[in-house]
Amino acid sequence: MQLKGIFLLLSIGAFTSYYVYQPIPDKIEERWKLMLTDCFFRSLSHLADFSELVGLKDYMGVMMFITFAERVVPVSDQRVHVTEELFDGVEVVVYQPKLQGGDTELRRAVIYLHGGGWCLGSARMGPYDLLARQMVIDLNSVVVSVEYRLAPEHHFPVPYEDVYRVVKHFLQRVVLAQYTVDPGRIAVSGDSAGGNLAAAVSQQLQQDPEQQLQLKVQALLYPVLQALDLNTPSYQQNQNMPILPRTLMVRFWSEYFTSDKTFFRAMMTNTHNSPESAALLKFVNWSAFLPESYQGKYNYSAPVVALSAGGAGSDGPSRSIADPRASPLLVPDAALRSLPKAYVLTCEYDVLRDDGVMYAARLRRAGVEVTHEHYASGFHGALMFTVWPTDFLIGRTMTENFIKWLQHNL
Ligand X SMILES: *[C@@H]1O[C@H](CO)[C@@H](O)[C@H](O)[C@H]1NC(C)=O
Contact footprint for ligand X (CB under 6 A) = 281-282, 285, 287-288, 297-299, 302
- Report the DSSP beta bridge partners of residue 342: 218, 370
Dist CA 143 CA 121 (whole Å): 17
- E strand intervals along 135-280: 141-146, 181-191, 217-221
DSSP state of 344: E
Query: How far, CA to CA in Å, does 239 sit from each of 15, 24, 26?
Result: 19, 12, 17
Cβ closer to ligand X: 296 or 367? 296
Cβ closer to ligand X: 259 or 285? 285
Pick the catalytic residue: 38, 229, 323, 350?
350
Cβ closer to ligand X: 146 or 228? 228
Contact 312, 208 (CB under 8 A): no
In a 10 Å sphere around its CB, with 0-12 CB exposed, 13-18 middle and 19+ buried, how is residue 364 labelled? middle
The minimum distance between CB 282 and ligand X, in angstroms, equals 4
Sign of torsion over alpha carbons 400, 404, 407, 410:
negative
- Count of CB atoms situated within 10 Å of the CB of 68: 9
Nearest CA among 307, 193, 195, 201 for reference residue 256: 193
350 is catalytic: yes
Q: Which helix (H) or strand (E) holds 85?
A: strand 80-87
- Report the DSSP beta bridge partners of residue 90: 87
Pick the catalytic residue: 192, 274, 318, 327?
192
The minimum distance between CB 51 and ligand X, in angstroms, equals 37
Nearest CA among 270, 238, 239 for reference residue 254: 270
The minimum distance between CB 333 and ligand X, in angstroms, equals 15
Cβ closer to ligand X: 116 or 303? 303
The minimum distance between CB 327 and ligand X, in angstroms, equals 15
**Cβ partners under 8 Å of residue 403, min gap 6:** 134, 135, 138, 139
380 is catalytic: yes
The minimum distance between CB 287 and ligand X, in angstroms, equals 4
Amino acid at 303: P
Contact 117, 98 (CB under 8 A): no
The minimum distance between CB 283 and ligand X, in angstroms, equals 9
The minimum distance between CB 295 and ligand X, in angstroms, equals 10
Pick the catalytic residue: 46, 155, 272, 380?
380
229 is catalytic: no
Cβ closer to ligand X: 180 or 285? 285
Cβ closer to ligand X: 184 or 275? 275
Contact 182, 140 (CB under 8 A): no
Cβ closer to ligand X: 297 or 408? 297
Residues forming the active site:
192, 350, 380
